[in-house]
Amino acid sequence: MRAISVIKREHRNLHAVLFTLEHLVLEIEKSDKAVDFVVFHGIVYYLDSFLDRYHHPKETDYLFPAVKSRCPQAKEIIDALGYQHAQGEKLLVKLLKSLSAYEFLGPQGFQGFRQAVTEYVQFEREHARTEEREVLPLAEAHLTSADWQRIDTVFADNQDPIFGRKPQAEFRELFRLLGNVVPAPYGLGPELRPDN
């Protein structure tokens, strides 16, 4: 059942990045400092690399089918969560487009960007919470040790581009930038540092 703690840890990492994103947007509302678009693009790049290409596929391909086959009553919620993985990708594209508009238009593009960030953050937060509240307890109760052997192997392969065993160089820099914005416990604290 090591996969359960890996999923929870990955959700914690995600929450720290989402919190930082929200915080950066609030800062823009409160001050007239120049906006650092590179940081926003770094966050979008991270969310695409981590959430959509790394975390969600492991759930879709391994955890969800196992829970569905052992607990037929979970079919509806698992199907909804699988659908949300695709919806989340679309919301990230929407966020990226609103970021481009903001960058090009200047302050008049801010409201659209702010709305896209709020929508995305709320959506992904709720998605992760639903998994922890509804799916992980079912998995813990019903999956067999053979199921866990397979799933744990996949989740133990810790290639998280920023928090994994070998964080990619470009994400080290992003982590440093984000860590300066919001420190732990809400943002990226030392326990989440890439080289830990």
Query: Which residue reads 């950066």 in tokens?
Result: 24
Give the tokens for residue 19: 């919190």
Cβ-contact 190, 184 below 8 angstroms: yes
Rounded to the nearest whole angstrom, what is the least distance from the CB of residue 166 to Fe ion in the complex? 22
Helix axis angle for 2-30 and 110-130, nearest 10°, is 160
Cβ-contact 157, 8 below 8 angstroms: no
Cβ-contact 8, 132 below 8 angstroms: yes
For Fe ion, the closer CB: 113 or 120:
120
Rounded to the nearest whole angstrom, what is the least distance from the CB of residue 128 to Fe ion in the complex? 5
For Fe ion, the closer CB: 22 or 131:
131
For Fe ion, the closer CB: 15 or 172:
15
Where do contacts with Fe ion occur on this chain (CB under 5 A)?
Answer: 59, 131
For Fe ion, the closer CB: 49 or 100:
49
Rounded to the nearest whole angstrom, what is the least distance from the CB of residue 55 to Fe ion in the complex? 6
Rounded to the nearest whole angstrom, what is the least distance from the CB of residue 56 to Fe ion in the complex? 5
